[in-house]
Amino acid sequence: MHKSFDLFFVSSNRHKYQEAKNILNLYGIKIGFLKSNLNEIQSNSLHSIAIEKAQDAFSKFKKPVVIEDDGLFIDFLDGFPGPYSSYVFKTIGNKGILNLLKNNRKAKFVSIITYCDKNIVKSFEGKLDGKISIIQKGKGWGYDPIFIPNGLKKTFAEINNKNELSHRYNALKKFSKWYLYKQE
């Protein structure tokens, strides 16, 4: 019997799943989506948050799972919002972030992909340096309308090839190489 999915992406955010699905398809990895609000500890460490979420997801579904946690780290704000990015976005949004910034707009996105099954918990990190735009540009989700990757003049929300260069892509690429090797 052919199984339809290699593993499951667990999240409350369908946008993250769609990006992960499109990226993992490039490597021949088929993922399903399990919508769930996972236990998210308060921590300054994305790695700790991701591991906790992955273990929570596995305990709920008893299937090999992958989760993603990420953060926007802004130099001028000493790395804030970092692991609190989701809360900050819900609270003050992109306009609030733009209002906090002065001249130094350097920032980076960090993504942690964590895989969990009954024997293994393993994380993979992807980073992308860039800057925060002066105004929101384009229609995208999350911080995409204000993040400009280094070397580009457009925000994530304005470009068509985000999945070929994003922090999430970098982490999923590392995960894919490990996962495919593990399957051999």
User: Rounded CA gap, 122 and 109, in Å?
Assistant: 20
Task: State mean pLDDT over 97-101.
Answer: 92
Least confident of 106-110, 112-116, 127-131, 180-184: 180-184
In this structure, what token pair is assigned to residue 26? 């490039």
So which residues are the catalytic ones?
69
- Enclosing H/E stretch for 181: helix 167-183
Share of the chain above pLDDT 70, in %: 98
User: Rounded CA gap, 67 and 115, in Å?
Assistant: 7
**How many other CB atoms are there within 10 angstroms of residue 21's CB atom?**
18
Query: Residue 24 in 3-state DSSP?
Result: helix
User: Rounded CA gap, 176 and 77, in Å?
Assistant: 33
**Shortest CA distance to 16 belongs to which of 113, 136, 119?**
113
Structural domains of the chain ordered from first start = 7-183 (3.90.950.10)
Tens of pLDDT, residue by residue over 146-158, are 999 999 999 999 9
In this structure, what token pair is assigned to residue 45? 């460490």
Burial of 40-58, coded b for 16+ CB within 10 Å and e otherwise, reads beeeeebebbbbbbbbbbb
pLDDT band at 2 (very low <50, low <70, confident <90, very high): very low
The model's pTM is 0.91
